[in-house]
Amino acid sequence: MTSPAEDKTARPRRSCLYMPGTNTRAHDKARELACDVLIFDLEDSVAPDAKQAAREQVVARINAGGYGRREIVVRVNHADTPWGDADIAAAARSGAQAILLPKVTTAAEIAAAGKVLDGLGAGTRLWTMMETARGVLDAPAIAAAHPRLELFAMGLEDFAKELHADKRAPRTSMLYALERSVLVARAYGLSVLDGVYPAFSDDEGFAAECAQGAMLGFDGKQLIHPRQVSAANAAFSPAAEAVAEARRIIAAYDDARARGDGVAVLDGRMVEALHVAEARALIAFADAITSD
């Protein structure tokens, strides 16, 4: 298990864009977008009679490459559907870095998918949607179910429907699930993504929800439209002032250690090793964004 500080050094996942598996035009255009993650979707956005064709198209596009530093993820159909097993096998062989499992309710589902990937000898990691009441309640068991699991992705559309709840701003009815998922993710060294904002033409509302997600501790936002990419990247990137402050914290601590002191004082506040670890993680994350 990694520490929370180490989690922040992971690759950026500020903007995670879904693309319908059948939309080959979107697949090609995505090579030019500034998003951190591309999620090829074989589940909700694909009609039943198009599932196999979508799978073949997605595999072909991933194999063709050209997506640069973007992390490639495939959201598969649930294992209980006629397409789930074949989706996992195809995604694992495609070269995608991760497979996103939908509508997970128990740790056993994660363990089963991990076992399949182990048997295939694939290096593919697992992500899971947190979009069911039972899944949110059993989040700790799910987080510990298999070492391939590395990320929770909130699915608030399905979650709100199951709860008969209103998910509109300020998302009061969703706060327990959002906060619990962040808490469990950090406790188990996982990344965690905020849910989609369906009203893609509402720039003001989207910016406000991104700000709320960043405040709650999410690593990034799942997106349904390219126009949302830049706002998500801005919301989940560290501010220049925060990076400068992190460098000051490290410098002050290094000076104190050189004098033989175990703590430092900066602007009237104590600086300890834990603050330095957080500062280094923040700088590493900022550097990872800049290097992209």
Mean pLDDT along residues 263-292:
92
- pLDDT category of residue 11 using cuts at 50, 70 and 90: confident
Q: Which residue has the higher pLDDT, 2 or 83?
A: 83
Percent of the chain with pLDDT over 70: 96
Mean pLDDT along residues 262-271:
94
The CATH class given to the 4-235 domain equals alpha beta
Q: Report if pTM > 0.85.
A: yes
The pLDDT, as a whole number, for residue 47 is 97
Question: Exposed, middle or buried, 61 (CB in 10 Å: 0-12/13-18/19+)?
Answer: buried
Percent of the chain with pLDDT over 90: 95
pLDDT at residue 104 tops 70: yes
CB-CB contact of 144 with 188 (8 Å): yes
The pLDDT, as a whole number, for residue 7 is 44
CA proximity to 224, closest of 214, 238, 212, 209: 209
The pLDDT, as a whole number, for residue 170 is 95
* pLDDT tens for each residue of 127-147: 999 999 999 999 999 999 999
pLDDT at residue 9 tops 90: no
- pLDDT category of residue 250 using cuts at 50, 70 and 90: very high
Length of the chain: 292
| Calpha distance 220→10 (Å, rounded) | 12
Mean pLDDT along residues 208-214:
98
Q: Which residue has the higher pLDDT, 173 or 122?
A: 173
Mean pLDDT along residues 107-121:
97
* Residue 233 backbone phi and psi in degrees, to 5: -60, -40
pLDDT at residue 3 tops 50: no
Q: Which residue has the higher pLDDT, 177 or 6?
A: 177
- What DSSP string describes 235-255? HTSPPHHHHHHHHHHHHHHHH
- pLDDT category of residue 292 using cuts at 50, 70 and 90: low
* pLDDT tens for each residue of 59-101: 999 999 999 999 999 999 999 999 999 999 999 999 999 999 9
The pLDDT, as a whole number, for residue 10 is 67
